[in-house]
């Protein structure tokens, strides 16, 4: 055996075992693209596993075919609605010392695991690596209005999110298993913003957090008003569940709803309007005005959803 080969064997043995957890709900088509990308990773294939947790999807021949095509993937099911409940199920069956999270509609680059693990192992007392999430237009030369809104208003500002809130979007996160064991798993009853709540616990526990620009995944922009509508309902419900529903005092619940609705209808649209008008990536006034109009429409939907929930409705997944 050559010295070089011995070095390779020792190096591979020292690589931490990684469990990649992916929740999925009625999205088998894009999951297939994600799984194909994960099977092309530069990380040693013997040192990571892929776990897909179905969150109660409708029966699908596409999903059945995936289980045949990617037969080395671990498949399981979690029927409690919500991606955080599904991620928690994945954690319970994961074998890895390193736990990585991405979403079914994401496309990790081929050195995603390698780079994410590198940041995690080389950062002192690291509890969270937040990788870049690059928004991807369906047709880069001709993005439609919905895609422009999703890219330039909503986006996934991972670095800014980490710096401001001490948290990261679960579309691209690496952490240690022992960190999860110490700070706890995600709050399973949240439909959205569970990543923010969990990240704050990691920060409060004294762990380091780092942004990894080169450990990135692609995420498609939402292409239709219906897509944006579903996301707006889910995000609005997540905020309500976290900041209103869990408040025990009724008068504080009412006060928080009022503040959130005022923010939706006035503060946030005004803030976004200023940002959009100054954004040089949107190349003409007409496009900027249309993006602003979509913003106001979505903010109205967000406000209405909070009122609906206060009246006894249930948050969307």
* pLDDT score, position 103: 98
Predicted pLDDT at 4? 47
Q: What is the largest CA-CA distance in the chain?
A: 74
Integer Cα distance of 22 and 31 in angstroms: 9
70: tokens are 């990617």
The pLDDT assigned to 10 comes to 43
pLDDT tens for 194-253 read: 999 999 999 999 999 999 999 999 999 999 999 999 999 999 999 999 999 999 999 999
pLDDT at position 317 is: 86
pLDDT recorded at residue 245: 94
Contacts of 207 (CB under 8 A, 6+ apart): 125, 126, 127, 128, 179, 183
pLDDT at residue 12 in the model: 55
Q: What is the pLDDT of residue 283?
A: 87
**pTM, whole model, 2 decimals?**
0.93
Q: Under 8 Å CB-to-CB from 98, ≥6 apart: which residues?
A: 16, 17, 18, 19, 117, 120, 174, 175, 176, 177
Low-confidence ranges of the chain (pLDDT < 50): 1-4, 6-10
């Amino acid at each position: 055996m050559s010295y070089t080969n011995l070095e390779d064997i020792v190096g591979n043995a020292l690589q931490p075992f990684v469990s990649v957890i992916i929740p999925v709900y009625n999205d088998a088509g894009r999951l297939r693209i994600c799984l194909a990308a994960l099977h092309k990773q530069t990380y040693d294939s013997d040192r990571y596993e892929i776990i897909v947790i179905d969150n109660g999807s409708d029966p699908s021949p596409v999903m059945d075919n995936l289980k045949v095509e990617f037969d080395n993937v671990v498949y399981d099911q979690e029927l409690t609605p919500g991606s955080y409940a599904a991620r928690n199920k994945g954690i319970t069956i994961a074998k890895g010392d390193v736990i990585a999270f991405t979403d079914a509609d994401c496309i990790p680059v081929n050195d995603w695991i390698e780079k994410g693990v590198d940041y995690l192992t080389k950062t002192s007392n690291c509890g969270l690596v937040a990788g870049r999430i690059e928004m991807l237009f369906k047709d880069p030369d001709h993005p439609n209005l919905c895609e422009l809104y999703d890219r330039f208003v909503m986006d996934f500002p991972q670095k800014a999110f980490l710096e401001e809130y001490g948290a990261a979007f679960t579309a691209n996160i690496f952490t240690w298993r022992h960190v999860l064991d110490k700070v706890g798993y995600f709050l399973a009853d949240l439909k959205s913003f569970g990543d923010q709540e969990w990240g704050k616990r990691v920060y409060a526990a004294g762990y380091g957090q780092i942004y990894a620009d080169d450990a990135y995944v692609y995420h498609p922009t939402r292409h239709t008003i219906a897509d944006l509508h579903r996301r707006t309902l889910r995000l609005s419900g997540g905020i309500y569940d976290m900041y209103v529903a869990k408040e025990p005092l009724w008068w504080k619940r009412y006060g928080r709803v009022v503040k959130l609705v005022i923010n939706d209808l006035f503060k946030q649209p005004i803030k976004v309007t200023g940002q959009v008008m100054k954004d040089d990536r949107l190349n003409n006034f007409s496009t900027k005005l249309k993006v602003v109009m979509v913003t106001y429409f979505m903010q109205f939907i967000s406000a209405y959803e909070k009122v609906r929930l206060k009246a006894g409705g249930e948050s969307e997944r």
